[in-house]
Amino acid sequence: MQRSLAYELPLLGEGLSFQADALGLFFALLTLWVWFWATLFSFSYLAHAHDKPRFYTFWFLTLAGCLGAFLAADLFTLYFFFELMSLSSWALVIHEEDFTALSAGNAYLYLSLAGGLAILAAAFLLQGTIGTTSWQASPPAPPPPAGTLAIVAALLFAGFGLKAGLFPLHFWLPQTHPVAPAPASAVLSGILLKVGAYGLLRTVSLLASWHFFLLPAAGALLAALATFTMLLGAQAALRQQNAKRLLAYSSVSQLGYVALGVAIAALLGRSFPLVWVGTLYHTMNHALAKSALFLSAGALGRISGSLELNAATALGLKYRGLGAAVVLGAAAMAGLPGLSGYISKTLLHHAVVAAPKLAGPSWRLLEPFFVLAGAGTAAYYLVLIIPWFTKSKLHVSPDLHRASPLLWLPPLVLTLSTVAAGFLPGFFLSHLVIPSALALLGEEAHHLKLELEHFHPWSAADLKGAFFTLALGLLIYTAWIRGLLPRRRAARLRRSRLAFAVFFRKFAPGVRRAFSLLGHYGRNALASLLLPLATGIRKRSPDLFAVILRAAVSSGKWLRSVEKLADFFRPRPACRPVQAAPFSSADYFLSLTWRSFLAVCEALNMIDVLINQAGVALARRTLAFFHFTARIDEALENFSTSSARTLHSFLSMLGHLEAPPRPAGKAGSRSAGWERLLRLDLLNLDVAVLLLALLLIFTLLCFLLQI
């Protein structure tokens, strides 16, 4: 049994409980190490920044959130610190307060909150069914009913997967990480993503301890998503020209590796403990190297004033420390033997190879994708580091002044720690990674140490695999970047094509504009022509209207295709345009979702206004009804008066009655009527007589007709 420190803070009703076992301490240590160097870096990076007190407040609040999340003993406490981390890191993301930062920050904030709410929902369900949300209760809590557990598992995977940037929920990541100030990007990518990874690991461990029957299926699904995330991140990173965006996509890809490790852990359970070790090692590697690379990118921005990779031309030669940091960090991420990435990827590769043996032959599909993603990693890191060491005549570097040591020392130290982790795997494994893996595996993992005796990182087969992957990466780089893509220099013009070229260069924009204007006005004119026509026609024959409407729609399509044609003739730049907005389709989707959501809200608002107006109308109708009844009352009274008078005159004509006194004019019109009714004066006796007569006639009729 491992030793662990536990502490309970009697706050928030339920109490916040902390537990420092090996796993939590491992992550906390990583966090503090990265945070320390990032803070040092931030002193020089933010030397002339605005709102520094605000930045540092949220900087340390985020640190508290991360540490609390890692050291929490139950899901309730974890949720608390998770929210703290999300909100305060949001303030870091939008620190620059420009448009891109604010819109990326919005996506980040609301998605983080949604992820947090998923975790909260899981905490609710656990607390409600088994009475505790603890990770490791002793004695272990009984599992909740299977249906609830399935929902809890889905919620936890969604919540932590969102934080870790797993495939369908990854799109916020490449927007968010580049817009933050560099130290913040470093910890966002290096540490905050690890909270998601940590949560996924804990979740799988918890579900495995309950022998959750759907866990292998969840593992298979997660593996598919993780593989897709790896490849997607890699191919998107290959196309980036902005250093930070490239690194952000690289984070997507690398967290895919971590998620793949978690998936295989879920699939194989405790029968193959090596995969837990590999996942943790890769987490450590990514935290150290990626934060170092983000800090270097920040230094690039500070020195050259731009984050485009073109701006880094020859900077690595001028600033040796920075260049070394970039190269070592990239090599560690790509898995060059001798650095920590090699160890972690080798461990994960072992797991990938072991999966078909233990879980069925269909898992053999995994290995090619794994190797391909590794090669992609090597390729896009070549994209990142090559400009730092190429001299260019075109790009005249500005007057370079001495960089403050705080700009290059922190990334260098972080990358040197990856070197240490690569050269001393035995030390790091036995002192850091294996104890934390044991914390996840619980009591049953005695044989883990034995198994690791057999693991030798420098075996010939593994080295061969690593070099094969790197070579494939080089191939991809040369093919993709240098070969297949159009060259940056424009192709020499042949005389035969000159006329066309001149024509297109000169007239194509005008033609295009004319076409688009034409289309615009055409559509408008068509609409203005059709609309009155349509309203006229609709009255006569609805079918004809539909036909015309369809015709209008198809003409719109035709106009659209003309516009597309015009667009096709637009002169294109010879080199590939820099892709400025990442995942514009996702953006578009988000904006569409947001708009439609707002439209729904507006509709509800309209409904509310309608309810309101209906209430007012109802009140008016009620008033009108009152007036109406009053009028009926008046009419009845008039009728009764006149008929009574008739009856009375009839009776007096017969000589049965004295002449009645005349009613007192119109003086008290309505209230006098009511008074008369109350006093039962002679006139109303007449009414009574009339009513009785009517009743009598009615009865007689009934009697006669034998109803």
Partner 1 sequence: MRITLLPLVIIVAPVITGLLTLLVPWSEERKARFSLFVHAFLLAALLALFPAVHAGRSLAYKLAPLFPPYGLSLRVDALSFLVTLVVAFIWFLSSLYALEYMRHEHHIARYWAFSNFTLSGCLGVAFAGDLFSFFVFFEFMSLISYMLVIHTETPAAFRAGVKYLYLGIIGGLFLLYAVIATYDLAGTLAFDALRSFTFPDYGLYSFSIFLSYVVGFGIKAGMVPLHFWLPDAHPVAPSPASALLSGVLLKMGAYGMARVFLDVFGLSYLATSGWAEIVAVLAGISIIFGSLVAIVQDDLKRRLAYSSISQMGYILLGLSLLTPAALYGAVLHILNHALMKSGLFLAAGAVMYRTGRHKVSELDNIGRTMPRTMLAFTITALAMVGIPPLGGFISKWYLGLGAVVGGRPVFLFFLLLSSFLNALYYLPIVTRAFFNRAACPFAAFQVLPPEEAGPTSLGTELPPLPPRPLAPELPPAMLFPIVSLAAGTLFSGLYPMSPPFSLAADVVKAYFGG
Least gap, CB of 306 to partner 1 (angstroms): 7
Binding status of residue 181 toward partner 1 by CB under 8 A? yes
Candidate ranges 17-25, 240-248, 462-470, 488-496; the one touching partner 1 (CB under 8 A): 240-248
Which residue from 96, 462, 637, 686 is in contact with partner 1, where contact means CB under 8 A?
A: 96
CA of 88: how far to CAs of 71, 188, 516, in Å? 18, 11, 47
Q: Least separation, in Å, of the C-beta of 413 and partner 1?
A: 23
Interface with partner 1 includes 602 (CB under 8 A)? Answer: yes
Instruction: Report in angstroms the alpha-carbon separations of 396 from 280, 315, 352, 674.
Output: 44, 11, 47, 104
| Using rule CB under 8 A, residue 575 touches partner 1 | no
Does residue 512 belong to the site contacting partner 1 (CB under 8 A)? no
Length of the chain (residues): 707
Interacting positions 125-144 with partner 1 (CB under 8 A): 125, 127-129
Among 178, 219, 233, 256, binds partner 1 (CB under 8 A): 178
Beta carbons of 278 and 248 less than 8 angstroms apart: no
Closest approach, Cβ 615 to partner 1, in A, equals 6
Minimum CB distance to partner 1, residue 239 (Å): 13
CA 212 distance to own-chain centroid: 28
Q: Which residues 36-95 are close enough to bind partner 1 by CB under 8 A?
A: 50, 79-80, 83-84, 87, 91, 94
d(CA 678, CA 645): 19
3-class DSSP state for residue 651? helix
- Relative to beta strand 5-9, strand 16-20 is antiparallel
- CA–CA dist 150, 628 (Å, integer): 63
Nearest distance in Å: CB 96, partner 1:
4
Q: For residue 640, how far is the Cα from the chain centroid?
A: 76
Regarding 448 and contact with partner 1 (CB under 8 A), the answer is no
CA 497 – CA 266 distance, rounded (Å): 61
Is residue 130 within 8 A of residue 86, CB to CB? The reply is no
Among 8, 567, 608, 633, binds partner 1 (CB under 8 A): 608
Q: Per CB under 8 A, does 579 bind partner 1?
A: yes
User: Is residue 619 a contact residue for partner 1 (CB under 8 A)?
Assistant: yes
Q: How far is the CB of 602 from partner 1 (least distance, A)?
A: 5
Structure-token match 């080089």, residue found: 474
Question: Do 241 and 309 form a contact (C-beta atoms < 8 A)?
Answer: yes
Q: Which of 5, 485, 490, 601 binds partner 1 (CB under 8 A)?
A: 601
Three-state secondary structure call for residue 16: strand
Rounded Cα distance, 426 and 491, in Å: 54
Q: Is 11 in the site for partner 1 (CB under 8 A)?
A: yes
- Position 387 contacts partner 1 (CB under 8 A): no
Nearer to partner 1, 242 or 436 (CB): 242
Options 5-13, 366-374, 469-477, 676-684: segment touching partner 1 (CB under 8 A)? 5-13
Q: Does 160 bind partner 1 (CB under 8 A)?
A: no
652 binds partner 1, rule: CB under 8 A: no
User: Contact between 412 and partner 1 (CB under 8 A)?
Assistant: no
Tell me if 588 contacts partner 1 by CB under 8 A.
Answer: yes
CB of 51 to partner 1, least distance (A): 9
Nearer to partner 1, 125 or 406 (CB): 125
Binding mask 288-327 for partner 1 (x = CB under 8 A): -------------x---xxx--------------------
Which 8-state DSSP code applies to residue 509? H
| Min dist. Cβ of residue 594 to partner 1 (A) | 4
Note whether 182 binds partner 1 by CB under 8 A: yes
CA distance 129 to 303: 57
Half-sphere exposure of 488 (CA within 13 A, CB side): 5
| DSSP conformational letter for 577 | P
Stretch that binds partner 1, among 157-165, 250-258, 548-556, 596-604 (CB under 8 A): 596-604
Specify the residue, 426 or 615, whose C-beta has the smaller distance to partner 1. 615
308 beta partners? 242
Report d(CA 269, CA 351) in Å as an integer: 12
Task: Determine contact, residues 71/20, Cβ cutoff 8 Å.
Answer: yes
Rg, the chain, Cα only: 39
Among residues 192, 403, 400, the alpha carbon closest in space to that of 311 is found at 400
| Selected range binding partner 1 among 386-394, 503-511, 595-603, 628-636, rule: CB under 8 A | 595-603
- Closest to partner 1 by CB, 9 vs 697, is 9
584 lines the binding site for partner 1 (CB under 8 A): yes
Q: Is 457 exposed, middle or buried (0-12, 13-18, 19+ CB in 10 A)?
A: middle
Closer to partner 1 at the Cβ: 541 or 591?
A: 591
Q: Is 314:389 a contact under the CB 8 Å cutoff?
A: yes
Cβ atoms < 10 Å from Cβ of 594: 13
Using CB under 8 A as the criterion, what x/- string covers residues 99-128 for binding partner 1? xxxxx-xxx-xx--xx--x--xx--xx-xx
Helices (H), 569-664: 584-653
CA atoms within 13 A on the CB side of 577: 6
Output 69 or 204, the one with its CB closest to partner 1. 69
Does 12 help bind partner 1 (rule: CB under 8 A)?
yes
Q: Following DSSP, what letter does each residue of 296-316 receive, concatenated?
A: HHHHHHHHHS--BGGGGTTHH
Q: How far is the CB of 250 from partner 1 (least distance, A)?
A: 16
465 neighbors 472 (Cβ within 8 angstroms):
no
Where does this chain touch partner 1 (CB under 8 A) — which range of 162-170, 277-285, 604-612, 666-674? 604-612
The residues of the shown chain that bind partner 1, judged by CB under 8 A, are: 11-14, 50, 79-80, 83-84, 87, 91, 94, 96-103, 105-107, 109-110, 113-114, 117, 120-121, 124-125, 127-129, 178-182, 185, 242, 244-245, 301, 305-307, 579-581, 584, 587-588, 590-591, 593-594, 598, 600-602, 604-605, 608, 611-612, 615, 619
